[in-house]
Amino acid sequence: MTDRYDAIVLGVGGMGSATVAHLAARGVDVLGLERYDVPHDHGSSHGYTRRFTFTDADDPAAVPLLQRAEQLWTALEDDHARQLFYRTGSIDAGPADGSLLENAVAACEDLGREYERLSSTELSDRYPEYDLPPEYEAIYQPDGGFLDPEACLVAHVERAHREGATIRARERVVDWSPTGDGVRVETDYDAYESDHLVITAGAWTARFVDALEGIAVPERQVVARFQPDEPARFEPNQFPVWNLETPDGRFYGGPVHRVPGLEFGRHHHREETVDPDAFEREPTQADERFLREFAEEYLPAGTGPTLHMDTCLYTNTPDEQFVLDTLPDDSQVVVGAGFSGRGFAFASVVGEIIADLAVDGETDHEIEPFSLDRF
């Protein structure tokens, strides 16, 4: 006899783990299916840091979600009794008339968060590690920082287990189909049925949702960590996470955490659209040179020998907004996808929203900007 659940969650990464936890906390009999380990390093939610900054709420729809996400991360941290959120402060820097600074100021003001606007000289006086052009300015915001993504994922899974959820790793979903009273899910191991299906499959989502083909597009991303001149200056209590707009794109990074090196990455790295099952997972010398050239120009104190490099995947939508919606022809199926390299900070509230949609068919959160029919 086929096992039946109230809900099945396809993909137990950052978004799926939060969703399973929220569903289980509501008394839903939920099964989470993950093709790899929990956690794993094949998708978008592994590694050591993910930015959580209040300057990233650069559109009105993100403002209340970021506020709620902070509340939920804090509650999860208290429940888990382990630090998940490191409040380092955040720096956003770039040309004084650039969009990055404009958006950062607007976000802080919309959220009612304090901030300081600094000249490049004032920034260097406070953080001499920077070497910015004189025409650059910076926004310092004290409340931001980073999340430890794997610790967050584990905390959500542990909460889900305490509430009775079942999670099966190393079990690949092959297909799903609607039934008269729900959904049937077939894996390479077994088959299951449920009243509701949630698809949070990251870079693989379009393989299960035809409407997202060409909309939720995987992209290869690389992060490097270089040895800093004086490591003590780059600890989380000394050095904020940062975001820097340059003629070559937007670069980001953060302090030394869990790996003895200063983090450097470029948003959309080298703009490589990929097949998530067939791409170059091993960082290359070209990847390293690309990030090192930036570091040598703008943060020369952090450009010692390479200590660590890693790849992950973005899943981008054309407008870089999320997709949070039910399927128009299958309302028992909820999709969370297309987080475009900025979604992890929102994972806690995304799980809440998806649980709302699965259980109630609606949510009190404003999610119209994330509807599938905008494409």
Domain CATH for 258? 3.30.9.10
- Per-residue pLDDT tens over the stretch 176-219: 999 988 999 999 999 999 999 999 999 999 999 999 999 999 99
Which pLDDT value is given to residue 189?
Answer: 95
Overall domain count for the chain: 3
User: Is the same domain home to 104 and 190?
Assistant: no
pLDDT mean over 129-158: 98
pLDDT in tens, 229-281: 999 999 999 999 999 999 999 999 999 999 999 999 999 999 999 999 999 99
pLDDT at 44 over 80: yes
Does residue 185 lie in a domain region? yes
Classify residue 163: in a domain, yes or no: yes
Residues 206 and 222 in one domain: no
Q: Is the pLDDT of residue 48 over 80?
A: yes
pLDDT at 60 over 90: no
From residue 249, give the alpha-carbon distance in Å to each of 58, 120, 138, 198, 271. 17, 18, 16, 34, 11
Question: Do 294 and 337 reside in the same domain of the chain?
Answer: no
pLDDT at 56 > cutoff 90: no
DSSP structural state of residue 61: T
Domain CATH code at residue 24: 3.50.50.60
Are 243 and 53 in contact by the 8 Å Cβ rule? The answer is yes
Do 207 and 334 reside in the same domain of the chain?
yes
Answer whether residue 288 shows pLDDT above 90.
Answer: yes
The band of 61, judged by pLDDT with boundaries at 50, 70 and 90, is confident
Is residue 262 in a domain? yes
Q: What is the pLDDT of residue 359?
A: 97
Question: Which pLDDT value is given to residue 58?
Answer: 73
In residues, how long is the chain? Answer: 375
CB contact set of 23 (below 8 Å; sequence gap of 6+): 6, 7, 9, 30, 160, 165, 198, 355, 358, 359
How far apart CA 277 and CA 265 sit, in angstroms, is: 22
The answer to whether residue 64 scores a pLDDT higher than 80 is: yes
Kindly tell me if the per-residue pLDDT of 1 is higher than 90.
no
Query: What is the pLDDT, as a whole number, of residue 180?
Result: 87
Residue 312 pLDDT class (50, 70, 90 cuts): very high
Percent of the chain's residues with pLDDT above 90: 96
- What number is the average pLDDT over the span 346-372? 98
Does residue 53 fall inside a structural domain?
no
Domain that holds residue 11: 3-46+150-214+319-374
Decide if 330 is inside a domain: yes
- Same domain, residue pair 166 and 128: no
> Residue 59: pLDDT above 90?
no
